[in-house]
Amino acid sequence: MKDSKIIAMQKMLDAKEKRYYKIKALTEKYNLPVLSFMLNIPGEDKNFEDAVIFHEKLIKKIKNILEKEDIKILWEEYNNLDTGMEYLAVLNGEGKFIKEKMIGLEEESREGRLLDIDIYDRDFKQISRSSLGLSERKCIICDDIARTCIKKERHRQDELEKKVREILKNYKSKN
């Protein structure tokens, strides 16, 4: 059991490192903001049907928001990795404005807490919620600051997985 957790963690770290260098290369090549969209899915299985469908629908929502704001996608890539679905896009807008719009999407519903949307400005600086004067993200279980719950391991893995699947099932039944 421990070995599988270590292997899963190594895969996550490897994927994160590859994404980091890909985003860095994109900001250098285009000199424009890059959007990175993943889901916050606990556990080893990150590609179950409801999660994949949810991710695909949210990509469409992201694209609709960008289109409404007249922000063009100059390059995009979708990957369904063992470590989860990944969407990257180079955008011709202003990074902070795009981040504000994506935070709006994250905060419009309960399932928004599952979204992991990062915006890197043209200089490869990640635009944080705090840099915009906004509060940190909340935990999907107890509404405390998510980072605090993660750090203190307040919730069991199975409890988190169950809650995420419940949120996705509810989303699927509504959409």
The full set of domain ranges for the chain reads 1-134
109: Cα within 13 Å, side-chain hemisphere? 12
Amino acid at 80: N
Task: Tell me how far apart the alpha carbons of residues 106 and 66 are, in angstroms, rounded to a whole number.
Answer: 14
pLDDT tens, residue by residue, 31-62: 999 999 999 999 888 999 999 999 999 999 99
Q: What are phi and psi of 44, to 5 degrees?
A: -80, -35
Going by C-beta distance under 8 Å and a sequence separation of 6 or more, which residues neighbour residue 40? 113, 114, 115, 116, 164
Q: What H or E segment, with its residue span, contains residue 73?
A: strand 73-81
pTM: 0.92
Torsion of CA 122, 123, 125, 126, to 10 degrees: 10
3-class DSSP state of 112: helix
H/E element holding 146?
A: helix 146-152
Q: Which CATH number fits domain 1-134: 3.30.70.260, 1.20.120.530, 3.40.50.720, 3.30.1490.100?
A: 3.30.70.260
Confidence bin at 2 (pLDDT 50/70/90): low
The model's pLDDT over 79-105, given as tens digits with 9 standing for 90+, comes to 999 889 999 999 999 999 999 999 999
Q: Say if CB 38 and CB 78 are below 8 A apart.
A: no
